[in-house]
Structure 1
Amino acid sequence: MKILMVVEASGGGVGRHVLDLAAGLTERQHEVHIIYSPLRMDRLFSERKQSLAGVRFVPYSLKRSPGPSDLAALKFIRSYFKANGGFDLVHGHSSKAGALVRLATADLAPTVYTPHAFKTMDPGLSKAKKALVAAAEFALGQIGNGIILVSQDEYEHARKLNLPKQKLYLVKNGIKLPGRSESTSVSLELRKKYKLSEEAVVLGFVGRLVPQKAPEILFKAFELLALEHKNVYLFYVGQGPLLQLLQKKAAGSPVKDRVIFAGEQDGSAMMSIFDVFVLPSRYEGMPYVMLEAQAAGLPLVSTKVGGIWDIVQPGRNGYLVEVEDYRELALKLEDLVLDPHKRRLFGQESQARAKLFTVEQMVRQTLEVYESISQKQFAKKAVVRNEY
Structure 2
Amino acid sequence: MGGDGFRVLQVLRAPVGGLFRHVADLTRALAAEGHSVGIVVDSLANDAQTERLLSALGSDAVLGIHRFAMPRLFGRGDLSTPFAVSALARKLDIDILHGHGAKGGFYARLAALGGSKAKVFYTPHGGVLHFPASKASGRIFHRIERQLMRKTSTIIFESAYAQKTYSALIGTPTCHSTVIHNGLRPEEFVPVPPGPDAADFVFVGELRDLKGIFPLVEALAQVTRPDGRPASLVMAGDGPDRMALEARIAQLGLTDRVMLVGSQPAREVFAMGRNAVVPSLAESLPYVVMEAAAAQLPVISTRVGGIAEIFGPTADSLIPPGDAAALAAAMTGVLADPAGASAEMQARLGHVAAEFSVTRMAGAIEALYRAAA
* TM-score, length-scaled by structure 1: 0.81
Q: How far is the alpha carbon of 1:242 from its aligned partner? A: 2.7
- String of CA shifts for 1:169-188, please: whole Å, max 9, x gaps: 2111111133777844xx43
Contact map agreement 2:235 2:261 (CA 8 A) in 1: yes
CA distance in 1, matches of 2:112, 2:292: 38
Q: State the match for 1:178 in structure 2.
A: 187
Percent identity, please: 25
Q: State the match for 2:102 in structure 1.
A: 95
How many residues align? The count is 359
- String of CA shifts for 1:26-73, please: whole Å, max 9, x gaps: 000100111123728794883474255121323445332222332243
2:18 to 2, 13, 19: 13
Contact map agreement 1:174 1:362 (CA 8 A) in 2: yes
- String of CA shifts for 1:121-155, please: whole Å, max 9, x gaps: 79xx5745665654443333343222100112222
Q: State the match for 2:36 in structure 1.
A: 31
Q: State the match for 2:111 in structure 1.
A: 104
1:80 aligns with 2:79: no
**Bigger shift: residues 50-59 or 355-364:** 50-59
Contact map agreement 1:120 1:133 (CA 8 A) in 2: no
Q: State the match for 1:381 in structure 2.
A: none
The alignment partner of 2:122 has SS state of strand
CA distance in 1, matches of 2:372, 2:351: 31
**Bigger shift: residues 67-76 or 261-270:** 67-76
The alignment partner of 1:162 has SS state of coil
- The aligned amino acid for 1:96 is K
Query: RMSD in angstroms over aligned alpha carbons?
Result: 3.1
Q: How far is the alpha carbon of 1:298 from its aligned partner? A: 1.8
CA distance in 2, matches of 1:45, 1:326: 40
Q: State the match for 2:329 in structure 1.
A: 331
Q: How far is the alpha carbon of 1:89 from its aligned partner? A: 1.0
**Bigger shift: residues 151-160 or 222-231:** 222-231
CA distance in 1, matches of 2:270, 2:304: 22
Which aligned pairs between 1:147-158 and structure 2 lie closer than 5 A? 147-158=155-166
Distance 1:9 1:241, change over 3 A: farther
Distance 1:8 1:77, change over 3 A: same
**Bigger shift: residues 253-262 or 240-249:** 240-249
- The aligned amino acid for 1:111 is V
1:225 aligns with 2:234: no
- String of CA shifts for 1:257-302, please: whole Å, max 9, x gaps: 2222222221023213322222223333322111111111122222
Q: Which runs of 5+ in 1 are unaligned?
A: 375-388
- String of CA shifts for 1:306-338, please: whole Å, max 9, x gaps: 221111147x47721223223322222222132
1:297 aligns with 2:285: no
The alignment partner of 2:38 has SS state of strand
**Bigger shift: residues 32-41 or 231-240:** 32-41
Distance 1:46 1:217, change over 3 A: farther
Distance 1:216 1:115, change over 3 A: farther
CA distance in 2, matches of 1:72, 1:117: 25
The alignment partner of 1:256 has SS state of coil
Contact map agreement 1:178 1:295 (CA 8 A) in 2: no
- The aligned amino acid for 1:154 is A
The alignment partner of 1:91 has SS state of strand
Q: State the match for 2:3 in structure 1.
A: none
The alignment partner of 1:364 has SS state of helix
Distance 1:272 1:93, change over 3 A: same
Q: Which runs of 5+ in 2 are unaligned?
A: 1-5
2:52 to 10, 31, 46: 46
Distance 1:331 1:350, change over 3 A: same
- The aligned amino acid for 2:186 is L
Q: How far is the alpha carbon of 1:362 from its aligned partner? A: 0.4
